[in-house]
Amino acid sequence: MLTGATSLDLVRDELFASMGEVEDLLQQFLEDRHNGSLLQQAIEGLQQLRGTFELIELEGAAVLLDEMVALATDVPEHDGTERNAPLSSLCDSLFLLERYLEQCRHQGCERPELLLPAINDLRKHRAEVGPFGESHFFALDIGTLPASVRPGADVVMEQRAFNRLRQMYQLGLLALIRDDGIAASTPLLQRALQRWEAHLESTAATLCWVASAALEAIEETPLHITAPRKRLFAQVDREVKKRSGFGKVPVDAPPVQLLGELLYLVALAGPDCHRCAEVKTAFSLPHPGFTELELLQAFDRLRGPGVDVMRSVAEALREELTAIKDLLDLLARNASDPEQSFETLGLALQRLWKTLGMLDLQTVSVAIQAAAAKLENWQAVDNSVLEQVADAVLQAETAVNRLDGQGEAGKSGAGGDDSGEPVELKEARIVLIEESQAGLALAKRSITAYMESGNDPMHLMNVPGSLETVRGGLIFLGMTRAASIIHLAARFIQESMLDRKEVPQPQQLEVLADALTGIEFYLESAERSTVATADVLTLAEDSLAELGYKISEA
């Protein structure tokens, strides 16, 4: 069964229509607060959405809908305008969810951490709950965390020495809270933590060890010092005081929640953090699947223009670039009024570099601006200037095509220096995918004609060759697993239906069609930059295995 981001294509239109209906109901309820049926219909719509997300296993979206249902249920039907903030948060969450689903669809995977700010924004309107921590979606079971990994000390630390170290820690913490710089606060914090680790009991020593590793991750990776992260180190101070033997507060259960949050920071650490590597090994920490930089870039994409917007912008820019290239061609061939074409070209280049600058494509924008400046001294016989302008325009075209393909004006394309594949190769891939889809469609039509003609093998004569052509294209695209599946399908048709002239059972033809349909879906997803590999390819492999052709034979 397809689940998660790979199944969004199957239910995307219905999901977006349902979210639009719920948003309309909430907006109507904001205007007509005495019509409780509007709110009840919105809650029922949210519950249906939650069930869909749970079914397709989109964890972050399901948790967000849980919070939306809980908040909407708490809203009284006739409570005046003081409940506008929760209702506005519900509408904002729906808008963000649409953007999140589009990003999941194009990335081919879910990153539920992106929804945590929205989830916590909903929770703050409910008095009985607090915010989730950063590690809420981290694949670590805090209930099984060992509280005592470090040996600790048998002899109780002198109170005077403990108080001095605590004062040192608090001075470093104050510098951290005031944003005096990590270089100013870390030496004091690390010194106090390492001394405590060596002279306190095992639970406190373990906490200090992990906190010291988290500080190393913040400093060396580096990680951003946010307000919740500052509060973590304030909690460390309180927990250490509890376990020092000098506090009046009785020691309760090990601080597993605090430990889990610190371990999440350790998991985000870069490869140069040696203490973090030791902690990762000791606690068997799973990899979060992303770096903090990647997460921040994903946040920027989520808050920035949507995929459809960027496609519209890219299309408009491509039209502008085409007009500029036509003007350059006319000037180079001296086939138009030079003064009029020159003026039109200058204005077009000015519009272009300003637009690219707004899209944060600074390097390309500067190149276009410099090329436009050189036009001021252009002579009709000097084609070198036109060539420099053409080079800058081609560079801009590459950036615009990359912008369209990524659906973002994010950091990766900010300077036009992205290390991705050339636009020409990308276009070749798209053409090859389209040809492969056409070959598969032709094969399926031929099989249908074979069935309708009473099993006339003439309809299948060209099918194995067509499938082998598709296979070659898939190998070129690097889709070797899909290519092996196509090869097995071609073998079944050639060996069983043509060479041995066996008439397959209707069920066998249905199974063959399932395999080809699975490859069609895989190619369609690949064309949209969605990674829908494992589930759909496994389905196709199982279908061919049922026909007696296992993937190991490919």
Task: Say what the pLDDT of residue 307 is.
Answer: 62
- Answer yes or no: are the C-beta atoms of 132 and 119 closer than 8 Å: yes
Tokens 């002899």, residue? Answer: 155
Domain assignment present for 522:
yes
Same domain, 401 and 430: no
Say if 98 falls within a structural domain. yes
Q: Is residue 294 part of a domain?
A: no
Q: pTM of the predicted model, to two decimals?
A: 0.66
Domain boundary among 365, 392, 413: 413
pLDDT at 81: 61
CA distance 312 to 135: 37
**Are 519 and 448 contained in the same domain?**
yes
Both 403 and 270 in one domain: the answer is: no
Judge if 375 and 453 occupy the same domain.
Answer: no
- Domain that residue 154 falls in: 144-287
Residue-level pLDDT at 410: 40
Instruction: Mark whether 514 and 542 lie in a shared domain.
Output: yes
Same domain, 445 and 528: yes
DSSP state of 70: H
Listed in sequence order, the residues at least 6 apart from 103 whose beta carbon sits closer than 8 Å to its beta carbon are: 111, 114, 298, 301, 302, 307
Nearest in space to 296 (alpha carbons), one of 360, 352, 222, 356: 222
Look at residues 237, 259, 249, 254 and name the one whose alpha carbon lies nearest to residue 163: 237
Q: Which of 133, 166, 182 is the last residue of a domain?
A: 133
DSSP H or E segment with residue 319: helix 307-333
The DSSP secondary structure of 185-221, one letter per residue, reads HHHHHHHHHHHHHHHS-HHHHHHHHHHHHHHHHHHHT
- pLDDT value at residue 128: 83
Tell me, yes or no, whether 251 lies in a domain. Answer: yes
Instruction: Tell me, yes or no, whether 78 and 195 share the same domain.
Output: no
219 and 99 belong to one structural domain: no
Check whether residue 433 and residue 407 sit in a common domain.
no
User: What is the longest distance spanned by two Cα atoms in the chain?
Assistant: 96
Q: 82: domain CATH number?
A: 1.20.120
In a domain, 465, yes or no: yes
We report the CATH number of the domain holding residue 523 as 1.20.120.160
Distance CA 332, CA 344 (A): 15
Note the pLDDT of residue 419. 42
The pLDDT of residue 414 is: 38
Asked whether residue 401 falls in the same domain as residue 462, the answer is no
Name the domain count of the chain.
Answer: 4
Domain shared by 175 and 236, yes or no: yes
**pLDDT tens by residue, the chain, 554 residues:** 445 666 777 788 888 899 999 999 988 888 888 888 888 999 999 999 999 999 888 899 999 999 999 999 988 766 556 678 888 889 899 989 988 988 887 777 789 999 999 999 999 988 888 899 999 999 888 888 887 888 877 777 888 888 999 999 999 999 999 988 888 888 999 999 999 998 888 888 999 999 999 999 999 999 999 999 999 999 999 999 888 776 555 556 678 899 999 999 999 999 889 999 999 999 999 999 899 998 988 888 787 666 667 777 888 888 888 888 888 888 777 766 767 777 788 888 888 888 888 877 888 888 888 888 877 766 655 677 778 888 888 888 888 877 665 544 343 333 444 444 565 676 778 788 888 888 998 988 888 888 888 888 898 898 999 999 999 988 888 888 889 989 999 999 999 888 888 888 888 888 888 888 888 878 876 655 444 455 678 878 888 888 888 776 54
Write the CB contacts of 154 (distance below 8 Å, at least 6 apart in sequence): none
- Residue 153 and residue 203 in one domain: yes
Residue 298 within a domain: no
Supply 305's token pair: 């223009």
The last residue of a domain, from among 86, 102, 133? 133
Residue 139 is assigned to a structural domain of this protein: no
The per-residue DSSP string of 418-475 comes to --S--HHHHHHHHHHHHHHHHHHHHHHHHHHHHHHTTS-GGGGTTHHHHHHHHHHHHH
Q: Is residue 452 part of a domain?
A: yes
Phi, psi (degrees; rounded to nearest 5) at 232: -60, -45
